[in-house]
Amino acid sequence: MSMVEVLKVTNLKMWYFLEDGSKVRAVDGVTFTVFRGKTLGIVGESGSGKSSLAMTLIRILPLNAKIVEGSIEIATDKGFVDIVKLNESELRSKIRWKYISVIPQGAMNALNPFMKIGDQIVEAILLHENISKKEALERAKNILKYVGIDPSRLDSYPHELSGGQRQRAVIAMALATYPRVIVADEPTTALDVITQAQVIKLLKELQKKFNFGLIFITHDLSLIAQIADYVAVMYAGKIVEYGPLEKLFKEPLHPYTRALLEAIPRLYGEKRRLRGIPGTPPDLRSPPPGCRFHPRCPYADDICKKEEPQLKSVGDGRLVACHLVG
């Protein structure tokens, strides 16, 4: 059965422009596709550009950030629309939250502390749907049921909810208009492992029910293993490896992917010493020439230090940006 594309990102570049005239190349030539009912996991160290990518996809950026190249095409009722070309008014009224929404980091920071949970969900619905406030309130009650919160909590303020309940409320807001794509930017940050597991289970159940495409962003490979169908590994603003979950975990091709997998403990199999990744991610104001991972890579050759590798197909739906592969 063919998969239906709901989001197509092509050669996306988003840079931060600093007061001293320098540029931080936070997202630098990213390309991927998201399919209806499937999850793309995006993983990498802190500073790899994951959260910058999340905010770029819905165009909620600070004043010193700019999309300098590329396209973000979202599936709408009238076909694909490149949201990079829309002005803020068009984006807010026609696309953002109606077709693509976000579950941001830190639920307490994402919710308005002076508004009741119900009012915040209803506001999102009324902004994008031509329905009455009574109908919007009824939908908000149903959405809270879907995420496992008693509808009576519509009258609660964020501080009256537990951490897990706040995270579920944020997920409810992202679902408010039944979008085709949801971007989950480290949605389990600061939650204990039990609550993390509950959130992962909830997202999988909701995706099965509403058939949305999900982008799940995290630095935790163990969470990726629980939820993703496909994985994109980010390093220094670029995707260095992409492929189906099982194949990427069983046979990582890029040295950075291998290093990430060797740094996490395993419950089963042969016992082995965990390995860290030496060094730190590069300064994206002046990234190193050639492959951006070469200063930390144990396999780096002369070509790695001079020529930037391109993301290329190696078969079986897999892509890798490494001179030493293939």
Kindly list the domain boundaries of the chain, sorted by start residue. Answer: 5-99+179-320, 107-178
User: What fold is seen in the domain 5-99+179-320?
Assistant: Rossmann fold (3.40.50)
In this prediction, residue 248 carries a pLDDT of 95
Q: Is the pLDDT of residue 274 over 80?
A: no
Query: 10 or 46: which carries more pLDDT confidence?
Result: 10
Choose the weakest-confidence range: 41-45, 84-88, 125-129.
125-129
Q: Is the pLDDT of residue 1 over 60?
A: no
- Tokens at residue 221, please? 């490979």
- Percent of all residues in the chain with a pLDDT value above 70, rounded to a whole number: 98
CA distance 285 to 295: 16
Mean pLDDT, range 225-243, rounded to an integer: 96
Q: Is the pLDDT of residue 259 over 80?
A: yes
**Average of per-residue pLDDT values in the chain:** 92
Q: Is the pLDDT of residue 9 over 80?
A: yes
In this prediction, residue 267 carries a pLDDT of 67
Mean pLDDT, range 90-118, rounded to an integer: 88
Q: What is the pLDDT of residues 111-153, one digit of tens each?
A: 899 999 999 999 989 988 889 999 999 999 999 999 999 999 9
Q: Is the pLDDT of residue 238 over 80?
A: yes
3-state secondary structure of 218: strand
Choose the weakest-confidence range: 151-160, 165-174, 184-193.
184-193
In this prediction, residue 192 carries a pLDDT of 84
Q: Is the pLDDT of residue 265 over 80?
A: no
3-state helix, strand, coil in the chain (%, to 5): 35, 25, 40
Residues in contact with 308: Cβ distance below 8 Å, sequence separation at least 6, in sequence order:
289, 290, 291, 292
Q: Is the pLDDT of residue 231 over 60?
A: yes
- If pLDDT is split at 50, 70 and 90, which confidence band does 106 have? confident
Q: Is the pLDDT of residue 107 over 90?
A: no
Q: Is the pLDDT of residue 261 over 80?
A: yes
DSSP string, 128-153: HS---HHHHHHHHHHHHHHTT--GGG
